[in-house]
Amino acid sequence: LAKTTQPISMDSYEGQEVNITCSHNNIATNDYITWYQQFPSQGPRFIIQGYKTKVTNEVASLFIPADRKSSTLSLPRVSLSDTAVYYCLVGPRNQAGTALIFGKGTTLSVSS
Amino acid sequence: GAGVSQSPSNKVTEKGKDVELRCDPISGHTALYWYRQSLGQGLEFLIYFQGNSAPDKSGLPSDRFSAERTGGSVSTLTIQRTQQEDSAVYLCASSSTRNTEAFFGQGTRLTVV
């Protein structure tokens, strides 16, 4: 599985847009990029998944450049409740026998 | 059930005792994962099941740890002769093979005293 690199922590204020970038230089052709969110004392929760260009849902947007060696999770107008750890994962989507390996993630702290 | 269910939610055990942690995945999910998370740390991968078989056991920290899955559904993680360093939250997740979106349970908080 492709190794990922993300910032250890980020700070923001309520109402700001937050962009968390993940580097995955060795991404394979059939790999997808998936982001999870984890609140304290809870298991991670799927946020968004994409393969190329841009994906948007009600929670976030995911921007993937043409070379796919990085991706950016964008959280619009964050609130205090967005304080969490965000994990970037890279791996094949429709392949049985693939473990999901989480890195250390990015701890986002949102202040008022 | 509607989501991944883990039991017990909390477990306190004495050092040296064996413990069993249970995971009920979402119905129909063929993939099941176990992770361990110590306080303030990331998710440590333990083992992965596809159906009843475990293609990847690389994360099990020692031979005191074992896991099985029966009927392609319920999984049990067993820790023998528990040590204080085994104290952590043990998380289970499941997914279908069509989509790598994994759904996590609330975890079992294990405390070894």
What is the pLDDT at residue A92?
80
Chain A residues with beta carbon closer than 8 angstroms to that of B33:
99-100
* DSSP conformational letter for B9: S
Here the tokens at position B111 are: 């405390």
Angstrom distance (rounded) from CA A100 to CA B29: 15
Statement: residue A48 has pLDDT above 90: yes
Option in B33, B100, B105 nearest A91 (CB): B100
Overall size of chain A counted in residues: 112
pLDDT for A97 beyond 60: no
Question: CB contacts < 8 Å between A and B, how many?
Answer: 67
Instruction: Please name the member of A44, A96, A104 whose beta carbon is closest to the beta carbon of B97.
Output: A96
Cα Rg of chain B (Å, integer):
13
pLDDT of residue A3: 85
Is the model's pLDDT at B41 over the cut of 90?
A: no
B107/A43 CB distance under 8 A: yes
Confidence of residue A1 (pLDDT cuts 50, 70, 90): low
Q: Tell me the Cα Rg of chain A.
A: 14
pLDDT band per the 50, 70, 90 thresholds, residue A58: very high
Minimum distance, in Å, between the CA of residue B106 and any CA atom of chain A? 6
Are the beta carbons of A97 and B43 separated by less than 8 Å?
no
Do the Cβ atoms of A44 and B104 come within 8 Å?
Answer: yes
Q: Which of A43, A49, A102 has the CB atom closest to B101's CB atom?
A: A49
Q: Which helix (H) or strand (E) holds A36?
A: strand A31-38
Model confidence at A95, in pLDDT bands (50, 70, 90)? low
Is B85 strand, coil or helix?
helix
> Mean pLDDT over residues B42-64, rounded?
89
Cα distance between residue B67 and residue A10, in whole Å: 37
* Chain B residues whose beta carbon lies within 8 Å of the beta carbon of residue A97: 50, 55-56
What confidence tens digit (pLDDT) does each residue in B97-107 have?
655 688 999 99
Cβ atoms B94, B31 nearer than 8 A: yes
* DSSP 8-state symbol, B100: -
Indicate the pairing of strand B108-112 with strand B10-13.
parallel
CB contact under 8 A, B106 and A43: yes
pLDDT confidence of residue A102 = 86
Q: pLDDT averaged over chain A?
A: 91
CA-to-CA dists, residue A109 to A8, A22, A70, A112, B97, angstroms: 11, 17, 22, 10, 34
Do A46 and B106 count as a contact with CB atoms less than 8 A apart? Answer: no
Q: In this structure, what DSSP letter does residue B25 have?
A: P
Mapped onto helix, strand or coil, the DSSP state of residue B73 is coil
How far is it, in rounded angstroms, from Cα A100 to Cα A2? 11
Tens digit of each residue's pLDDT (9 = 90 or more) over A74-93: 999 999 999 999 999 988 87
